[in-house]
Amino acid sequence: MSPEVVTLSDSMLFSALAIALILGCSWLLDSRRGVDRIIFGSILVVMLSNYLYFRLTKTLPDFEWSAYAVWPRIYLSFELVVILYTVLSIVFFFRRTDHHGAADASEALLARLARQPAVDVFICTYNEELSILERTILAAKAIDYSNFTVWVLDDGRRDWLRDYCAEVDVRYLRREDNAGAKGGNINNAIRQTAKETNAPFILILDADFAPQRAILNRTVGQFINTDVGLIQTPQFYYNADPVQHNLLASKAWVDDQRIFFDVMQPSKDGWGAAFCVGTSCVVRRDALAMIGGMPQETVTEDIHLTYRLLQKGLKTRWLNERLSVGLSAESLSGYITQRCRWCLGTIQVALLRDGPFFGKGFSFVQRMHYFHGLLFWFCRPFILLLMAAPLLYYFLGLPAIRMEPEAFFLYALPMVAGMWAFHAWVSGGRSLPLFTEVSQMVSAVPITIALFHALLHPFGRPFKVTAKGEDRGRVEVIYPIAGTFLCVIVLTFVGMLNGPLLGTYNDLDGFSVAWGMVVMVYAFVSLLVCIELPREALDDIEFPLERQGHVASRGKSVPCTFDTISIHKARMTIQDEVAFADMRLGDLLIFTPFADFDVAGQVTAMDRGRSGVSVSIVGIRDRRDAWEIKKTPEEVRQKMVQRIFSEMPEVMPRRAYPLAAGRGLWKRMFARPSVLVGKLEQHTVTARTQQRSRKLYRPPFISRRTPLLQISSRNVAPPLAE
């Protein structure tokens, strides 16, 4: 317990000074400088050490074989796991790499070559719908590189996909079984392509990750460094993950992997321990040959690949640039399935004889980085103990921590405030209290179950593909997890009434009430995440452009702002009031939302209040494609998909906006889901059948009698400045 000489006012003053120091560090230090990260990180390590010493020496009862003595030690054991993970994270943050210069040099080197090195682009697919696959396939075809071949690796053996690949002129591969899951699929492709192209480099893409045009120019030239076996780029998404979406924070908070990709991986790269994440990476074919191909022994072949390469002296380089965009898990069940697979795979790799713990050829730092990644999953049970601790105190009188208010202000509060402030600072504002923790809480129960199953039976489990393209047109409730959080809320409230609020056990009541209230808040927000809001159809997603340009209307060039664009329509704000007044529904407008890409659209709606115009896209001309006009629905759709997804504007936030996130959460708490999302029509994304013909979406306001659009160089709006 706290020393008797320390009063509550003294401890509160000390806590205020410590928090002021933390805020001063956040304000005065620059997270981009290594020295500043060391200074701030060292201060936090001291705070954590001080708290840990207090916990070990002052908060535990004398040991005896009783629940009163054993329970606090169980809780402390898992708390130590979290503290160790945090300390290692802080130390690893001391280093950080930036390979933008190497990427620039790669572009310059490749531009000087008479013939660029050949690249095989592998698109791995199993059961994804064409609405998802076409984005990756068409974007891959648009890569700005002169010597590459696109291969679709179909582990689902679908004839309609084979026909589609022939239609869009990409190569198609299938095999007779699914042995080795994704790793086996890639190994089959390595063998088959070696007979034809045998390209020295391979770009690996998941079915739902569309490469950006520069991905090969920014990476291939970096392999001039012979120590590099693989170059990994981060995953970016064009849709909100379930936590963002269900808390109305898709424009106010980052996806839960952003800190890992933008902060943790550059730091791991600084220590030579960045690892492959399975998609949007370029690997040397000879490096794969050195290790016997893509690993197949685990469900996370990506991280296993990195450690196999490390044994051969080849490292994974992390290029922190946005060179692909993908589809995040659309449902909470898919989100959880994905993370449970990662948890299982991390344990599987750790247990292998050639893995980072038992294998040869790894440095101490490389082993510690893998240990750090393993600790991430072992932190999940601590979340469950955090929720259970107040209940055990209320109903059984078993405190997890014996802490008086004076001790809380002296040791615990400065440490918690320091962790929040440091994570927000070192992540460049990507971390946000409450939202960050909730993203971990919603999956804590299933991951904890998966964790213990993996420890008991780590191998022999099937590879589970994350569901994408699901029907998300209605409100759905994940009842098992939602019920868990509801029980926590009810029991915590009843426990408070039963004990601290209407009775008295001992002096720990005030601390237990505060703990219980925090648990109820987190459980309530997590419960909201489990009530899933509908999503719009994938084809209806509108991407923000916010670009200045011109639109050709009635023979005149009119300045405008391109607000949003989707596969089928665009929205813009006309900046000339006279020209806007002359526009009518049904008018044909010609504009250039992307460089060298002219679009013709028919006006379908007008907003007189803000001079806004909505158009349905009915024709396009890609000046990079021989200036050929595309007017049929199939051609227009394919070109729009290709251009949008190969040059995707950045649609998701790169940092957190606390006020906006708070407003969204407040609205989510007090409004019905149907009110929040409007009346969305239910939609079903269906796979293309074996027939070659395909029914395309045709906006109802475009009549078959509409004359074919004629686009000439005289009436095209000037292209946007890039």
pLDDT digits (tens, 9 = 90+) for 249-282: 999 999 989 999 999 999 999 999 999 999 999 9
pLDDT of residue 397: 87
Q: Please indicate, yes or no, whether residues 184 and 272 belong to a single structural domain of this protein.
A: yes
Q: How many CB atoms lie within 10 A of CB 625?
A: 14
Q: Please indicate, yes or no, whether residues 524 and 550 belong to a single structural domain of this protein.
A: no
The verdict on residue 358 lying in a domain is no
The verdict on residue 288 lying in a domain is yes
The DSSP code sequence of 641-686 is HHHHHHS----S-SS--HHHHHHHHHHHHHS-HHHHH--PPP----
The verdict on residue 668 lying in a domain is no
Catalytic: 302? yes
Q: Are 421 and 23 in contact (CB under 8 A)?
A: yes
The verdict on residue 408 lying in a domain is yes
The pair of structure tokens assigned to 427 is 């992540």
Domain coverage including residue 225: 99-328
Q: Are 443 and 408 in contact (CB under 8 A)?
A: no
- The active-site residue out of 302, 563, 598, 622 is 302
How far apart, in whole angstroms, are the C-alpha atoms of residue 247 and residue 328?
Answer: 16
Residues 6+ positions from 439 with CB-CB distance below 8 Å = 243, 256
Residues 6+ positions from 103 with CB-CB distance below 8 Å = 218, 219, 222, 319, 321
Q: Please indicate, yes or no, whether residues 206 and 117 belong to a single structural domain of this protein.
A: yes
**Amino acid identity for residue 403 in this structure:** M
Residues of the chain with pLDDT under 70: 1-5, 461-472, 500-507, 673-722
Query: Does the global pTM surpass 0.85?
Result: yes
Q: Please indicate, yes or no, whether residues 415 and 554 belong to a single structural domain of this protein.
A: no
Q: Please indicate, yes or no, whether residues 519 and 556 belong to a single structural domain of this protein.
A: no
- Cα 271 to chain center, whole Å? 23
CATH number at residue 208: 3.90.550.10
Instruction: Find the length of the chain.
Output: 722
pLDDT of residue 707: 37
Burial 184-223 (b: 16+ CB within 10 A, else e): bbbbbbbebbeeebebebbbbbbbbbbbbbbbbbbbbbbb
Residues 6+ positions from 672 with CB-CB distance below 8 Å = none
Domain boundary among 595, 617, 647: 647
Radius of gyration for the alpha carbons in the chain, expressed in angstroms and rounded: 28
Catalytic: 155? yes
pLDDT of residue 471: 63
- The active-site residue out of 155, 206, 256, 598 is 155
Q: How many CB atoms lie within 10 A of CB 391?
A: 18
Q: What is the pLDDT of residues 14-52, one digit of tens each?
A: 999 999 999 999 999 999 999 999 999 999 999 999 999
The verdict on residue 713 lying in a domain is no
Q: Please indicate, yes or no, whether residues 317 and 264 belong to a single structural domain of this protein.
A: yes
Q: Please indicate, yes or no, whether residues 112 and 52 belong to a single structural domain of this protein.
A: no
SS3 328: coil
Pick the closest to residue 46 from 419, 376, 402, 423 (CA basis).
Answer: 419
Domain boundary among 647, 674, 691: 647
Q: Are 562 and 545 in contact (CB under 8 A)?
A: yes
Q: Please indicate, yes or no, whether residues 275 and 309 belong to a single structural domain of this protein.
A: yes
CATH number at residue 608: 2.40.10.220
Domain boundary among 616, 647, 678: 647
The verdict on residue 693 lying in a domain is no
pLDDT of residue 247: 94
The pair of structure tokens assigned to 609 is 């209040």
**Amino acid identity for residue 46 in this structure:** V
Q: Are 137 and 641 in contact (CB under 8 A)?
A: no
The pair of structure tokens assigned to 677 is 């999302």
Residues 6+ positions from 227 with CB-CB distance below 8 Å = 313, 314, 315
- Cα 378 to chain center, whole Å? 21
Torsion, Cα of 442, 279, 102, 214 (10° steps): -110
The verdict on residue 581 lying in a domain is yes
Q: Please indicate, yes or no, whether residues 153 and 264 belong to a single structural domain of this protein.
A: yes
Q: Please indicate, yes or no, whether residues 166 and 310 belong to a single structural domain of this protein.
A: yes
Q: Please indicate, yes or no, whether residues 483 and 584 belong to a single structural domain of this protein.
A: no
How far apart, in whole angstroms, are the C-alpha atoms of residue 129 and residue 60?
Answer: 56
What's the structural domain count of the chain? Answer: 3
The verdict on residue 304 lying in a domain is yes
Q: Please indicate, yes or no, whether residues 163 and 218 belong to a single structural domain of this protein.
A: yes
pLDDT of residue 678: 45
Q: 407 φ, ψ to 5°? A: -70, -35
